[in-house]
Chains A and B, each alone.
Chain A
Amino acid sequence: MMKSGPASVEFRSVTKRYGAVTSVDDVSFTIAPGTLVTLLGPSGCGKTTTLRLIAGLEIASEGRILIGGKDVTFLSAADRDVSMVFQSYALFPHMSVLENVAYGPTVQGMPKAKAHALAMEKLALVGLAGLERRAPSELSGGQQQRVAVARALVLEPQVLLFDEPLSNLDAKLRRRVREDIRELQLKLNLTVAYVTHDQEEALAVSDRIIVMSNARIAQSGTPHELYEEPASLFVADFIGDANLVDALVVEEREERALVRVGGLDLDLPRRGATRGPVKLAVRPEAILLAGAKPARPAIAARIAKAAYLGKHLEYTVESPLGELFVIDRVKNEPLVAGADVWLGFADRDVTIVPL
């Protein structure tokens, strides 16, 4: 079999409609060869449809899809050099682990012995050597997941797709498996598109993230860009649970701006904002709570709910700015519900959101 190496994926104004419902609306992006790009968004935002469009399991209603520079818009899934790891793993229950992994090469017409050798190689790669005679149902969830990955890798596809691969695993296993996937992607230099609704997972594994909302791309960029400079209220809210607070730009200072919020003045990057009302995205960690009135200016507020989570403390605070969600990782003395507190802002993780 010819090794084709990683390829780019390009969407040019792709739209997918089901009757009156548009699930992907005029979407354009490019995935560079050898990178891992995450499609992130709430359920129903069109991210899985986008993935299935890459795979060829759906055909675009409008627009063009290119893989490795070649137009594949109307090519069926079987003719595209793309493999996919399914959310349910989709292991064939009537075949053994080995037959599952060897399925791809076998149906391409490769002799059985050669196909099995290739499959054994990939099984060893994912650390499942010795389990090849088992039926999929005799494996644990994590092992089944690795069989699915081995089966997708065996054809050495130009593009590998993951549809929420961690959603059926328990919380502990998720971190390990996502690290394994990233390691494999870097080691084999694969182009990977990865769908998830978990922002932490996306931040952890991606070279770039495409955030989708209502069938459109809300923002795309590196994890750092998305977290630090959200382009919209939706992105700010979806990634890192930001508090969205009304504020007023009182002075434009070239690249920076003086922003007044709840009586406090903050000096922030301007990000194109002009004088007048704006929204601030304030990360939960960026709100500092003090039990006693501090020396510097502060906003008086009251703890509505408090939760002790071991590693950190979570508070819901009622303030003149509205209800705020606060995380205290420093673990000051735990505050109790009903206590009066004073709010301040940290130097970072407070951002002006362009409207």
Chain B
Amino acid sequence: MTRASIIWLVLGWTGFAVLPWYMVADLSGYPTAAAAPGLVLALSGRAWWLLPLLLPLAVAAWPLAGRHGREEGGWWLVAAGALGLALLAIQGFAVGLEGWNAAWLRELLGAPGPQQRGMGFGAALLALASLMTLCHGLAARGWCRGDAFVVSAIGLIVALITVFVFLPVLTILVSAFQDNAGRFAPGEFFAKFIDRSVWGLDCLTSDLRCGVAWNTLFLAVVVGVGTTVLGLAFALIATRTAFRFKGLLRVLSVLPIITPPFVIGLALILMFGRSGSVTALLADWFGVPRSRWIYGFWGIFISQLLAFTPIAFLVLIGVVQGISPSLEEAAQTLRARAWTTFRTVSLPLMRPGLANAFLLGFVESMADFGNPLILGGNYEVLATKIFFAVVGAAHDQSRAAVLSIVLLAFTLGAFWVQHAWLGKRVYTTVTGKGDAGLPPPLPRGVAVACYATAVPWAIFTFIVYAIVLVGGFVRSMGRDYTPTLEHFLTGFRIETTERGLFFSGSAWDSFFATLKVAATAAPLTAAIGLLTAYLLTRQRFAGQRAFEFGTLLSFAIPGTVVGVSYILAFNVPPIEITGTGFILVMCFVFRNMPVGVRSGIATMSQIDKSLDEASLTLGARSFTTVRRVVLPLLRPAIVASLVYSFVRAMTAVSAVIFLVSAEYNMATTYIVGRVEAGEFGLAIAYSSVLIGVMLVAILMIQVVVGERRLGRRTAGALAVQGAAA
């Protein structure tokens, strides 16, 4: 037995015999009463179903007694770990808050049966120790080249994804087939699924509204097409013309990333709402009557177009830059005119990028929650409908689950189409060879079309952001432009009392909670994402494709669905964490992890794999290799994933709106609340504070992570290229 597996055995015993087994608020009465450790509960008979857990703990200790070979000892560890996890899961899911969880158990052993609360630190530590024992055993059996670190990392990530991605999704599937009392009711599922409010087509034939599924689908397609066209226009201007304000385009592409998604909707209300500034102008000067046209399809459409065009731009600029100029030059030497070259060579080569941009816009529009919530009016989409099914007067959880499944099917379908359509085609135009060609200028007609779409749009975007900036400092947009700090004082007042500073502003609580959650989630997300990327690029193991799918799956699940599935899955034992900061952190980690994985994979595939192997053959274990060789070369990816996960944790609305509690209210949900209450001034002031905080945080991350690379970095960068060549 290695030292590490002995340590895990000791920790397993600690979890079972020392730490409080259940989730408790305080330690009163320890080691008996509610805070008792599992061993005490099991032996005293209060939780007799914990008794079998002694068996795996004994089995894990068995190799200590005899003199076993590494491989034989491995078998014992595998058996102990697997048994421990299985027993924990069985007892956790069998015994619930109100007795036996399954109907057949109630019938067999009598209702209501024993009761227990959610697992606490003791149970969590024992679960972790069992998992690690299993992994060490598998490593001793020669899995992953006998590398305990790698096997443990795989085991840990698989376990986390199972608990925080698959378990919630599974729960939502199950609860869609149940009625609200928890009974199996397939009839009710089909009734809700084929309901007219979901799939109705009345808007084609009469004045009635169409089903919410069609609304969502139509909006997503229109937004996908719109963002792709605009993104392409911006990308072509940025790469293929001598446009003078390219720097501004770059800024334009970054701004929405650090903008909470509903802020654009908010700005639109301030401009075009009944008392908006533009509406007021039109009414005063031209006598255009004030109306509520912005609340509905057009409002959502414009705000989503503004919010998601930069994503399409970022995708397409990479694609346009990636087209080897030599290909276009080749076409020209074959006597193709500029327009013919563009139509027959450039555009077809951009096809995967265009498809990607469309699908991203499509999926983002489906998943968007903030803009439809504040701008939707009577135009209902799935994301908001799910929300109101859970929090509304009806409180129909199974209806929310059914709608979630529809939404999930749409987004997963989109990703599947993307994979099936693009997966088999190879459009590689960037090769390792140098390319001396110069990209040809755009054909005149195309250039004019690009300018005509992109420039007005860019100006519009700037006006929107100007309003966000100005809106917080005037009394009321559209009505009273007197400069004031009133909104900032309401939210962020600090008073000096005799006991020191007192943060009396109404926004401070949610502000600090958001910072705390985002600052906790960001490093965790980066760590798990990069570890996953390391496993995917640097290791080979059975089931790697399934592993990759699992880690990227959460990317395709809309936030609203995540929110619903988390409250369904984690509101009851064995894992009972709703209302805590922990559930928010976990939600962010697994929603944002795929980006860390992607950027990690991209950076790591540029680093020669033999660097790791050299370190291994020099006697450094995988962990040391990761720490001393991989991480120092991975700084750009670390920065990217830290920034992304921090920013996303600050700006997300859709998932967290289900998960916030009085103690952990997030900035975004607080702002949405202000908007719904009509306090636009405070909302917009708070939004600009958030944007400012994110800018500062991004700079700080750059400085902290980036500073260490100064030393020999210039030479190092050269050598990375050299080694890869």
Contact = CB atoms under 8 A, between A and B. Distances in A.
Interface of A: 18, 55-59, 73-80, 82-84, 86-96, 103-104, 107-108, 135-138, 148, 151-152, 155, 161
A76 B617 CA distance: 9
Interface stretch (B109-117, B415-423, B454-462, B710-718): B710-718
A94 B145 contact: no
B24 interface: no
Interface SS of chain B: helix, strand, loop or mixed?
helix
Contacts of A58: 145
Contacts of A80: 617
A86 B613 contact: yes
Given A74-B142, A96-B712, A90 B619 contact: no
A84 B614 contact: yes
Interface string B582-622: 00000000000000000000000000101101111111111
B716 A78 contact: no
Interface stretch (B210-218, B366-374, B492-500, B627-635): B627-635
A136 B712 CA distance: 11
A189 B325 CA distance: 55
Contact of B145 (A57, A95, A96, A104): A57
A103 B618 contact: yes
B262 to A, nearest CB: 43
B608 to A, nearest CB: 6
A93 B606 CA distance: 13
Contact of A74 (B146, B608, B617, B716): B146
B611 A83 contact: no
Nearest to A77: B616
Contact of A56 (B145, B608, B610): B145
A82 B145 CA distance: 15
A91 B633 CA distance: 13
Nearest to B612: A90
Contact of A93 (B540, B624, B715): B715
B633 A93 contact: yes
A354 B526 CA distance: 62
A79 B632 CA distance: 24
B466 interface: no
Nearest to B717: A93
Given A74-B141, A78-B619, A84-B613, 9 more contacts: A55-B617, A56-B617, A74-B146, A78-B622, A88-B608, A91-B719, A107-B618, A136-B719, A152-B617
B70 interface: yes
B71 interface: yes
B71 to A, nearest CB: 7
Given A90-B611, A94-B633, A151-B614, A76 B146 contact: yes
A135 B146 contact: no
Contacts of B633: 93-94
B548 interface: no
Contacts of B712: 94-96, 135
B89 interface: no
A137 B718 contact: yes
Contacts of A148: 614
A108 B624 CA distance: 10
Given A77-B617, A88-B608, A104-B618, A93 B146 contact: no
Most buried by B among A83, A94, A107: A94
Contacts of A57: 145, 613, 616-617
A88 B720 CA distance: 11
A77 B145 contact: yes
Nearest to B627: A107
A151 B610 CA distance: 14
Interface in B36-59: none
A83 B620 CA distance: 11
A345 to B, nearest CB: 47
B722 interface: yes
A76 B615 contact: no
A161 B717 CA distance: 28
Contacts of A92: 611, 614-615, 629
B579 to A, nearest CB: 44
B723 interface: yes
Interface string B148-163: 0000000000000000
Contacts of B147: 76, 78
Which among B614, B709, B712 has the greatest number of chain A C-beta atoms within 10 A? B614
Interface in B673-725: 709, 711-713, 715-720, 722-723
Contact of A73 (B142, B619, B709, B720): B142
Contacts of B70: 74
Interface of B: 70-71, 140-142, 145-147, 540, 608, 610-611, 613-622, 624, 628-629, 632-633, 709, 711-713, 715-720, 722-723
A82 B715 contact: no
A161 B618 CA distance: 12
Nearest to A57: B613
A90 B719 contact: no
B610 A87 contact: yes
Contacts of A78: 147, 616-617, 619-622
A59 B723 contact: no
B720 A93 contact: yes
What are the 7 tightest A-B residue pairs by CB atom distance, in nearest-first order?
A93-B719, A135-B715, A74-B142, A137-B719, A104-B618, A90-B610, A90-B614
Contacts of A18: 540
A58 B613 CA distance: 11
A245 to B, nearest CB: 42
A137 B617 contact: no
A93 B615 contact: no
8 contacts: A55-B617, A56-B616, A78-B147, A78-B621, A92-B611, A93-B719, A93-B722, A155-B618
Nearest to A136: B719
Given A94-B632, A151-B618, A76 B722 contact: no
A123 B720 CA distance: 23
Nearest to A78: B621
A185 B23 CA distance: 64
B5 to A, nearest CB: 15
A90 B630 CA distance: 12
Contacts of A88: 608, 610, 723
B145 A90 contact: no
B627 to A, nearest CB: 10
Contacts of A138: 715
B613 A90 contact: yes
Contact of A108 (B619, B632, B718, B720): B619
Which of B615, B616, B619, B712 has the most A CB atoms < 10 Å from its CB? B619
A18, A87, A135 — most chain B CB neighbours (10 Å):
A135
B716 A59 contact: no
Contacts of B141: 74
Nearest to A138: B715
A107 B616 CA distance: 10
Contacts of A155: 618-619
Contacts of A104: 618-620
A76 B711 CA distance: 33
Contacts of B615: 92, 103, 107
A93 B610 contact: no
A136 B615 CA distance: 16
B603 to A, nearest CB: 14
A89 B621 CA distance: 19
Contacts of B717: 93
Given A93-B633, A103-B620, A107-B624, A59 B145 contact: yes
Nearest to A108: B619
Nearest to B618: A104
Nearest to B622: A78
Nearest to A59: B145
A59 B142 contact: yes
A86 B622 contact: no
Contacts of B614: 84, 86, 90-92, 148, 151
Nearest to A134: B715
A79 B147 CA distance: 10
Contacts of B145: 56-59, 76-77
